[in-house]
Amino acid sequence: MSEKNYEFVVKRKDDNGKESYSSYEVPKDKISTVLEGLIYIKENFDQTLSFRYSCRMEICGSCGMEVNGKPRTACSTIVSQLGTDRVKVDPMKHYEVIKDLVVDMDPFFTKYSEGLPYIIREGEEDYSSEIPQTPEQFKEYEQYSMCIKCGLCMAACPIVGSDEDYMGPAPLAAVLRYNKDNRDQGSKYRLEIVDGDEGTSRCHFVGECTEVCPKGVDPSFAIQRLRMQGVRYELGKFFRRRK
């Protein structure tokens, strides 16, 4: 391989389910990110190479994949910062591969929706105007609202890999986001869901989810905070029954 090129080694899966690796040489002066490298390959060498992308600026979350053994967003992964001219690209772990680097995200969004990720209000109210929220109240959940649903945390989580029913880091962090929102009144419903066997108690706090999160959400810490909310909720139920 020339010193002027990067070697991209990309895992492929064809329509018949056959898996293999394809190698391509990409000029260093033509790209800066892994996504740009994949686009260069598709435009110049192999139009059949399949991968997802949209915004190209780490907002949409669609270009999640594994680069040199670590889940990353391809659009924000600078090739020159990887410390090697060999770039090995695989689809994200713990997802069913549809083709090449494209994985089935439906199970992720199904789990995400199980945590009721929306504002819940009790009773009938007049919503002709917005529900007030101060900057301080927004700060309470701002960090957890930064999730772009890329799914990298699920790919990094060893529990997700061994238990397909586990809700996982992103869905649980989303539960905390809405539980911390002053406009919401539905935390009791979410805590009933996440206090089950496949919720917060299933997390082993390995921390890999936080390590790979491109937006600094820190799902591992979010799950710990959510677990404490669950403990307080269960204690409250216990003492209410005692009265």
Helix (H, G, I), strand (E, B) or coil at 90: strand
Res 124: pLDDT: 78
Q: What is the identity of the amino acid at 41? A: I
Section 90-119 average pLDDT: 97
Half-sphere exposure (CA, 13 Å, Cβ side) for 136?
A: 0
- 106-120+134-242: CATH homologous superfamily? Alpha-helical ferredoxin (1.10.1060.10)
Residue ranges, comma separated, of all CATH 1.10.1060.10 domains in the chain are: 106-120+134-242
SS (H, E, C) 15-84: CCCCEEEEEEEEEHHHCCEHHHHHHHHHHHCCCCCCCCCCCCCCCCCCCEEEECCEEEEHHHCEHHHCCC
Residue ranges, comma separated, of all CATH 3.10.20.30 domains in the chain are: 5-103
Is pLDDT at 238 greater than 70 in this prediction?
A: no
Section 156-182 average pLDDT: 97
Whole-model pTM: value is 0.92
**Least confident residue range of 13-27, 127-141, 158-172, 229-243:** 229-243
Res 15: pLDDT: 85
Q: Minimal CA–CA distance to 212: which of 140, 126, 153, 149?
A: 153
Section 20-25 average pLDDT: 97
How far apart, in whole angstroms, are the C-alpha atoms of residue 12 and residue 91? 9
**88 vs 16, which has greater pLDDT?**
88
Is pLDDT at 243 greater than 80 in this prediction?
A: no
Residue spans of alpha helices (H) in the chain = 34-44, 106-114, 135-139, 152-156, 158-162, 169-179, 187-194, 208-212, 219-242
The CATH number of the structural domain formed by 5-103 is 3.10.20.30
Span between the terminal Cα atoms of the chain, in Å: 76
Res 1: pLDDT: 65
* Mean per-residue pLDDT of the chain: 94
